[in-house]
């Protein structure tokens, strides 16, 4: 894994830390590192949930413009596969994920945050997709994930104008789920992810797959995805333990082993 990315695991929660001072600009090495960290967090049994974190001052201020500015069309046609690939890897982590955002989450940084299931922002956060100001458009999923999250009109507003939104407006439009003090974003993210540790890992995986896959298809196909995943969970020990516990002790008291 790149030295610009760390996966730190404690108490069942994996923190994928971006570490490229000063602004966590997303160069190719950092992008590859994030993809590798996502894969590792996804396969590790000691990781029940994942936090993406850029530090107390900045989440990620965007792609490395110096690296990209002189690329030809042919070079970008190839590099764009990496842009799409590492964000797909992050979005595909088969566990609950949250972005802990302090400071700037712009361009590629905002697109990284969009890959998560949830977003917690510090009150000092600024989010946006300013690519239009460079004569281009978001290329790491922003046009698609942002529109699915906040709706097409709000997404077009941010993408067409390139303007930044503060944490309060981001919460109002549904771009972030919670706003806290800047020095509390990591702690708030850990608090949010803690209930998933020791939870029914296969059911959580299935729930994420059902929601995410269902957003890509028509309703009837989505219902079939849900039906298949629901039925499949009856082959798990967690389903047996959960229903047995409910009958014997009432709701919310089951112990799961993730199998």
Within-domain flag for 58: yes
1, pLDDT greater than 80? no
* Residue 135 backbone dihedrals phi, psi, to 5 degrees: 85, 20
How many domains would you assign to the chain?
2
- Map tokens 């930044």 to a residue: 164
User: Do 223 and 165 belong together in one domain?
Assistant: no
- Active-site residue list: 111, 131
User: Do 155 and 240 belong together in one domain?
Assistant: no
Pairwise CA distance, residues 10 & 130, whole Å: 35
User: Do 125 and 138 belong together in one domain?
Assistant: yes
User: Do 117 and 227 belong together in one domain?
Assistant: no
185, pLDDT greater than 80? yes
Within-domain flag for 259: no
134, pLDDT greater than 80? yes
**CATH number of the CATH domain containing 94:** 3.90.226.10
User: Do 163 and 86 belong together in one domain?
Assistant: yes
Q: What is the pLDDT of residues 51-110, one digit of tens each?
A: 999 999 999 988 888 888 888 999 988 888 988 999 999 999 999 999 999 999 999 999
Within-domain flag for 255: no
User: Do 242 and 179 belong together in one domain?
Assistant: no
With vertex at residue 57, the alpha carbon angle to CA 53 and CA 61, rounded to the nearest 5 degrees, is 75
**CATH number of the CATH domain containing 207:** 1.10.12.10
User: Do 132 and 234 belong together in one domain?
Assistant: no
Q: What is the pLDDT of residue 15?
A: 98
Q: What is the pLDDT of residue 147?
A: 97
- Residue 257, classed as helix, strand or coil, is coil
Domain extent at residue 210: 201-249
Closest-CA residue to 110 (of 93, 122, 127): 127
What value does the mean pLDDT take over residues 41-57? 96
More confident position, 40 or 82: 40
* CB neighbourhood size of 180 (10 A): 20
What value does the mean pLDDT take over residues 197-218? 96
Q: Angle 237-249/201-214 helices, nearest 10 degrees?
A: 110
User: Do 131 and 235 belong together in one domain?
Assistant: no
Query: Picking from 61-65, 121-125, 151-155, which range would have the lowest pLDDT averaged per residue?
Result: 61-65
Name the H helices within 162-257: 167-172, 185-193, 201-214, 219-232, 237-249
180, pLDDT greater than 90? yes
Single residue among 152, 168, 196 that ends a domain in this structure: 196
What value does the mean pLDDT take over residues 17-46? 95
User: Do 222 and 159 belong together in one domain?
Assistant: no
Within-domain flag for 258: no
Residues 6+ apart with CB under 8 A from 243: none
Within-domain flag for 34: yes
What value does the mean pLDDT take over residues 140-162? 97
Q: What is the pLDDT of residue 67?
A: 85
User: Do 192 and 209 belong together in one domain?
Assistant: no
Closest-CA residue to 54 (of 118, 130, 105, 111): 105
User: Do 147 and 167 belong together in one domain?
Assistant: yes
């Amino acid at each position: 894994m790149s030295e610009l990315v760390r996966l730190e695991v404690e108490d069942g929660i994996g923190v994928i830390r971006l570490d490229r001072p000063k602004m966590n600009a997303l160069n190719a090495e950092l992008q590859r590192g994030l993809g590798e960290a996502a894969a590792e967090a996804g396969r590790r049994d000691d990781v029940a949930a994942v936090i993406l974190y850029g530090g107390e001052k900045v989440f990620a201020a965007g792609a490395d413009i110096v690296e990209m500015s002189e690329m030809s069309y042919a070079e970008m046609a190839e590099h764009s596969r990496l842009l799409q690939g590492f964000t797909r890897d992050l979005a595909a982590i088969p566990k609950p994920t949250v972005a802990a955002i302090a400071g700037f989450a712009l361009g590629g940084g905002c697109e990284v945050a969009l890959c998560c299931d949830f977003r917690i922002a510090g009150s000092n956060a600024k989010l946006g997709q300013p690519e239009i100001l460079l004569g281009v458009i978001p290329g790491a999923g922003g046009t698609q994930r942002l529109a699915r999250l906040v709706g097409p009109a709000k997404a077009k507003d941010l993408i067409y104008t390139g303007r930044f939104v503060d944490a309060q407006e981001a919460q109002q439009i549904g771009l972030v789920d919670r706003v806290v003090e800047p020095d509390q974003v990591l702690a708030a993210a850990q608090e949010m992810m803690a209930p998933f540790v020791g939870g029914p890992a296969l059911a959580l995986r299935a729930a994420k797959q059902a929601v995410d896959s269902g957003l890509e298809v028509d309703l009837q196909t989505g219902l079939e995805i849900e039906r298949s995943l629901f039925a499949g969970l009856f082959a798990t020990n967690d389903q047996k333990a959960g229903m047995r516990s409910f009958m014997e002790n009432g709701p919310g008291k089951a112990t799961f082993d993730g199998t």
